[in-house]
Chain A
Amino acid sequence: MDVGLRSELQRHGIFVTTLEELYNWGRSNSLWPLGFGLACCAIEMIAASMARYDLARFGAEVFRPSPRQADLMIVAGTVTKKMAPQVVRLYNQMAEPKYVIAMGACAISGGPFKQGYNVLKGIDRYIPVDVHIPGCPPRPEALIHALMTLQQRIAAESLVGPNRPRHLRRDQPGEFPVPEYGSHDLIPPKNESIWRPPVIVRSG
């Protein structure tokens, strides 16, 4: 519909919208996170959901204790290799559509423990991450910013056509392989189909 006509109608008290917009508006304003924290970032996540920062303004205050009711997984904190299969399994058990925010340096890349023997170098090795928040830990404002970024992304999703998001495509997987405990490392150490190490060429 023409934007001019739409605003003209709106001025006369007639609100016109599309099914897609209505759907995305509803979904982006009721993102229910899965209630779990892995490390110190979880404290900031809790702070963001409390009265001062008030995540409820964005409809995201309902931390669900079950993945069946959650839309959003906030990976808040260090993902150890022992914890990684559980996180991936929780992600798999969430109902579509589902989104992931990797909160903090550890969840993005392993952070200060990157060289450690027991820390996963970023949760995006196993599950697709929608928004990364840097910081150690990120402030609640950063989490709110990430949530708003995610809301904008959801609002821009299309219901039909080739640019449909993952959860609307039949050929895209809804669950990702859960890594297994090996004798020296997780098997596989990364999901090659969704994550590849950055290609870097040394200049000299």
Chain B
Amino acid sequence: MLCLLDSDEVARLASVGLVLSHIGMDGGSTEYLTLGIFLVAACLFALMPLGLARLWAWRFAPTKPGPVKNSIYECGLESQGDAWRPFKSAYYLYAIVFLVFDVEIVFLLPFAVAFGGLPLGAVLAMMLFVLLVVEGLLWAWAKGVLRWS
């Protein structure tokens, strides 16, 4: 949980803004200034409601944690065991097939777009990657995963 910004932090953020504006004026790269302002605004946008909520809780609404309230939500039933338990190794198969058919396209598409202007080293690296993926495909094929019964 993030806490409310104290005055020191506000001062620090303000000084960061000043530094950024100095850079902007001195270096002449004004695009970094807007970036800095955006960064500060984004941080404030995220932190302010949290800070306000914490302030509200402190002033008006007392927090009331309890053993049942803090327990894991499991549709009202009592939770059994731990969520951090090993999954069956059978799911490894799903991961492989997902990688082969889904993740691979993320790399293949840029590769195809930039194919013409690539140096030899990049092409070789990409070929190695495709080979590894094809190996997974062959393995899944040999396992009979692709057969629709």
Contact = CB atoms under 8 A, between A and B. Distances in A.
Q: Do A and B come into direct contact in the complex, CB within 8 Å?
A: yes
Interface string A166-204: 011110011100100000000000000000000000000
A93 interface: yes
A68 interface: yes
Contacts of A96: 61, 64
Contact of A93 (B62, B64, B71): B71
Contacts of B77: 86, 89
A67 B73 contact: yes
A92 interface: yes
A150 interface: no
Given A68-B73, A93-B71, A175 B66 contact: yes
Chain B interface, DSSP helix/strand/loop, else mixed: loop
B69 A175 contact: yes
Contacts of A85: 76
B6 to A, nearest CB: 23
Interface residues of A, number: 22
A173 B60 CA distance: 16
B134 to A, nearest CB: 41
Interface in B61-106: 61-62, 64-66, 68-69, 71, 73, 75-78
A90 interface: yes
A173 B68 CA distance: 12
B73 A86 contact: no
A168 B61 contact: yes
A97 B61 CA distance: 9
Of the listed residues A68, A96, A97, A178, the one surrounded by the most CB atoms of chain B closer than 10 A to its CB is: A96
Contacts of B66: 92, 174-175
B60 A159 contact: yes
A188 B18 CA distance: 64
A178 B77 CA distance: 11
A114 to B, nearest CB: 23
A167 B73 CA distance: 21
Contact of B68 (A159, A168, A175): A175
A100 B108 CA distance: 54
A66 B68 CA distance: 15
Nearest to A34: B76
Interface string B21-64: 00000000000000000000000000000000000000011101
A133 interface: no
Contacts of A68: 73
B64 A86 contact: no
A2 to B, nearest CB: 25
B141 to A, nearest CB: 39
A93 B73 contact: yes
Nearest to A94: B69
A101 interface: no
B96 to A, nearest CB: 31
A32 to B, nearest CB: 15
9 shortest A-B CB distances, which residue pairs?
A174-B64, A86-B76, A92-B68, A90-B76, A175-B66, A170-B62, A89-B76, A175-B68, A175-B69
Interface of B: 60-62, 64-66, 68-69, 71, 73, 75-78
